Each structure stands twice: as C-alpha cells, then as structure tokens.
Amino acid sequence: MNLTRRQFLYTGALALTALDQIGRERLGQARGLLTDPLLDELVGRALAAAKKAGASYADIRVVRRRYESIATREDRIRAVDLNESYGLGIRVIAGGAWGFAASSQVQAAEAERIAERAVEIAQANAQVNTQLKRRPVALTPDPPQVDVWQTPLQKDPFKIPLEDKAELLLAINREATKVQGVKFCTSQITTIGEWKLFASTDGAYIEQSVTRLGPGYSATAVNPQTGEFESRNHELPPMQAGWEYVEQAPLLKDARRIGEEAVQKLSAPSVEAGPRDLILSPSNLYLTIHESIGHPTELDRALGYEANFAGTSYATPDKLGKLRLTAPELSVYADKTTPGGLASCGYDDDGVKTQRWDLVRDGVFVGYQTTREQAGWIGEPASRGTSYAEDYKSFPFQRMPNVSLQPGKKDLSLEDLIAATDDGIYVSGAGSWSIDHQRYNFQFGGQMFYEIKRGRVQRVLRDVAYQANSVQFWNACDLLGGARSWQLHGSLNDGKGEPSQSNAVSHGCPPARFRKINILNTNARRRA
C-alpha cells in the first residue's frame, strides 16, 4: 500500500481534524528539513502495516544522529571521534501493551516488516501483562501536530573544519601551560547533531533538528616537591547553539586565569569542617538542582519503576501539594522551551508540544515530569511532553527537561550575596557528588572555594564538600540573586534507564545562599 503524505495524514478522523485545525499552509512548511521525499512513502506504509497487523496506535521515528569530538593535551591531538547513525524505530500499542522494533535499513519494505514485528512483540507483551494483571497502556489525548522545529543557529558547527577546532584547543593549551606550575592542560569540543522525523497514526508529522555544543578544558598544576596536584576546569556550559557560541566565548582569553587558579589551589589552606553559610554559583548549584530536585520529580522514579537501577524518590505522590520542599520564596520549574537549553525542542518523542510548568511553587512540591502514558497514572489530563529516546533503536521514555530555579525578586548580584554574609564559603564550578537512591542525602564538591569573612572574599580554600539532605538544604536557602545573575549550565550526558540511555539537560539558576550547611574536609591526611 503506497501512501503519499497527504493520503497518510488524511487517514482517520483525528488526522483529518488535525489538518483542518493546522491548515494547509503549515503542512507545507513541514517539508523544510526533509532530506528525502521517499520518507513520505516509508512513513505511510509503516503506519498502515502496523494498523493492519492489529495495532491500536503506532508511531515511527526516523533519526539521524551525528557525533563529533576532538580532544587534545598540550601540543598533541589525543583523539578524534566521528560517528553517525541512521535508522528507524517503530512503537505500537496492541492488546493494551507496548511493542517496539528498530532497523538501520531506512527502506519502505523494511519499515513495513519492522512495524509488523513491533505488533508481534506487543501482542506477546499483552499476554504477559494479562497474566501479571498489569494495567493496560493508555495514552492521554493530545492534538496531533504537523510542524518543523530546529535549533536557532548562525553557523553549523559540523561545517567548521576539524583543523580550526584543533588550532583553538591547542592555543588554549599553550596559553594555560605558560603559567608557572601548570603541568598540563587538556581540552575538547564535542558536537552532537540530531535530526528526527516523527509521525503517528494520530496524525502527527513533525521534523526537528537539534544541535548541541560542549567546549571545555582543564588545567592541572603540580607541586614538584610533594607530587600533589590540583585541577581547574573552565566553567563554560554546554549549550544548544551554533559555532558562534564558541566564537563569542572567552575560552582562549580565560586560559591563563584558569591555570593561575589551579596553581592557587595547591597552596590553599585546608578547610575547617563544621556548619557554615554557603554561597553557590550557578556553575555549582545547577548540579545540585539536577540531583536533588530534577531526578526526584521524575514520575517513573517516584513510583518505583527505576528502583532496581537508578533508585526511587523522596518526592512520592502522597506528598504532592503537601511537601514543603524549599523555602517559601523559592520556585522551581521544568521547561523544554528554554532558549539554549540542552533538553529544549519543539516536541517530545510522543509528539507532544513542549512546555513550561512548575515543580515547586512558593516552596511547595506541586508537579511531576510525565509522558502521554504516565500522566493518567496520577490523574492529569495531559502529558508534560518529556518523552525522549537517545537514538532510533532506543525506546522513548520519560527524561528530564531543563529544570531551573527562578531568580529572586530583588535585583541582587553575587557581590550583594557575598557582602551580606559574615562567615561563609563561596563555591564555584561543579566537582564531585554523591547522593543516595532516594535522592535525599547528598554530598557535593566544587572547583573553587573562597572563604568569606565580614562580607568579603578572603582567601582560596581546598578540600571542601557540603553535606545535607534535599529538603533541609533547600529550606535553608534565604537569599537569591536576581534575574541578571541567572545563568544556564548543564550536561550532555545524563544517564537513565536499563539499558541506559543518555539525555542532555540544562539547569538555570542565580547564585544562592544557604544558611548553616555542614562543611566537610575531604582530605584525611591534611585533617590529621
């Protein structure tokens, strides 16, 4: 059965309704990123085959994923990693159960075969679910979308020659190692490109192109007498952006300062353990947000579906609307539309339009991250649009959106927070971290630690980590930077699931002060 795009989209009442709402003009715009017109036929045949085989619902993702990484050390290129994958994955519901199959052969006949295979798997799963009395899969309603979305960018980073990228990295290394005491410097640029076509039997037809960049480097200083070493990482966050982001960043300009700070850490005094006020920069606090609020508000984790691998959550459904998770003046929101956010996109892998919503409002835990399947589990009428699969051969499931802390109402700067603190420690940059499987008790380190006395930064410290539980910590926050101090940081590699999948995610926040947090000295030898 050969279907054109128009024929495919007009199949079924839902698709017809969707087209009436969207209009033909927008349908035409949806060809913008399509690289192969033959995909129209492939999509139509795959979804028709799934329906014929017995699927009550089906969707298809055609995904091209590109990865490029170049890494250097001093005057040498350590590694160049270039790879690309291209394939299709088909997901179906049959008998109230999921079925999924994938192939690297992007051909119409293969798509039909894979669709039929996915239905066979779903039917087998349905028999098991019946025996185990598992709830049947039910998707919350969502209007089918026909659209195109792509990362706003001026320069495609994949079109920048590797030689130019290597030259920048080697120049950074040279500059950092000019600092006396810096033994070596490593640097890298990672680029990830993701093109995706999503279509469903509901009538969705969505094309997206996402580009992510992760530049960075680390200088290491060594004490020749003792052999001790300290490293300092540059804090430029990975971002969804074009090459212009790298060109505008002070990577080379900061190289000498980064080297000097690594040397400073070598001679810094070891911290004295005990309760101290803590000021955290956005480059440090983003990771604490990720671990202590981002992961706990994933609904599948909260309900125990991740218990055997990733853990559970202290933020269980019985606490929704009741738990005072943070201080009253704090609010935390999820947002897959944040400009530059690593998890940002137009639509998730359920075809749901992305959005912003509250997880913590005025201190109270009020929301979860959900998919079309999950929303109904807690009585919500619609998905929050957080379904994502790493590549074509991965099954989509709930993944973290950008989770961010709203800035304070007053226009306070980092300097204002420091000036208001009598005895504390300022932490910049992300370091080591540890948190229990409920995402409750934790310990975090950092990159740079500065002692604060009487409203002024006094000296660099070392061997610092802070320890608390998630609720205690966030309720101890009494001062926030304003909108102008808000920054976006994040990671290209957030793992979840079994088998594990990787998701890129950002977290925005201002600098913040936390009262009387337990400070640990992490170096047993220097403590003695």
Q: What is the pLDDT of residues 232-286, one digit of tens each?
A: 999 999 999 999 999 999 999 999 999 999 999 999 999 999 999 999 999 999 9
Give the pLDDT of residue 38. 74
Confidence of residue 36 (pLDDT cuts 50, 70, 90): low
Percent of the chain exceeding pLDDT 90 equals 89
Average pLDDT of the chain to the nearest whole number: 93
Asked whether 72 and 170 are in contact (CB, 8 A), the reply is: yes
User: Cβ(282)–Cβ(489) under 8 Å?
Assistant: yes
Fold entry, domain 5-213: PmbA/TldD fold (3.30.2290)
Q: Do residues 520 and 467 lie in contact, with contact meaning Cβ atoms separated by under 8 Å?
A: yes
Over range 11-40, report the average pLDDT.
45
**42: pLDDT strictly greater than 50:** yes
Residues 49-98 pLDDT 10s: 999 999 999 999 999 999 999 999 999 999 999 999 999 999 999 999 99
Residue with tokens 């490109």: 193
Which has the closest alpha carbon to 215: 232, 193, 237, 192? 237
pLDDT tens column, 377-429: 999 999 999 999 999 999 999 999 999 999 999 999 999 999 999 999 999 99
Cβ(11)–Cβ(2) below 8 Å: no
Integer angstrom CA distances of residue 185 from 217, 254, 256, 486: 7, 13, 11, 29
Q: What is the pLDDT of residue 29?
A: 47
pLDDT of residue 310: 87
Share of the chain above pLDDT 70, in %: 92
Report the alpha-carbon distance of residue 61 to residue 389 in Å, rounded.
10
Distance from C-alpha of 199 to C-alpha of 91, rounded to nearest angstrom: 11
Judged against a pLDDT cut of 70, whether residue 11 lies above it is answered with no
The Cα–Cα gap between 459 and 218 comes to: 22
Between CA 527 and CA 273 the distance in angstroms is 9
Q: Where are the domains of the chain?
A: 5-213, 274-527
pLDDT of residue 435: 97
Is the pLDDT score of 25 beyond 80? no
Give the contacts of 248 (CB within 8 A, at least 6 positions apart).
none
Q: How far apart are CA 503 and CA 310, in angstroms?
A: 14
Dist CA 133 CA 408 (whole Å) = 48
What mean pLDDT is predicted for residues 455-482?
98
Q: What is the pLDDT of residue 309?
A: 86
Pseudo-torsion of CA 505, 507, 508, 509, nearest 10°?
Answer: -170
What's the distance, CA 343 to chain centroid?
5
In the block, tokens 């005072």 appear at 324
Q: Please, what sign has the CA dihedral across residues 71, 74, 78, 82?
A: positive
First to last CA, the chain: 77
* Cβ-contact 102, 85 below 8 angstroms: no
CA dihedral 357, 361, 365, 370 (to 10 degrees): 0
* Whole-number Cα distances in Å, 91 to 23, 46, 86, 119, 499: 27, 11, 17, 8, 17
Q: What is the pLDDT of residues 341-356, one digit of tens each?
A: 999 999 999 999 999 9
Task: Give φ, ψ of 106 to 5 degrees.
Answer: -90, 80
Quick one: pLDDT band at residue 526, thresholds 50, 70, 90? low
Note whether 349 and 371 are within 8 A (CB): no
Residue 218: strand pairing partners: 186, 233
489: tokens are: 């940081």
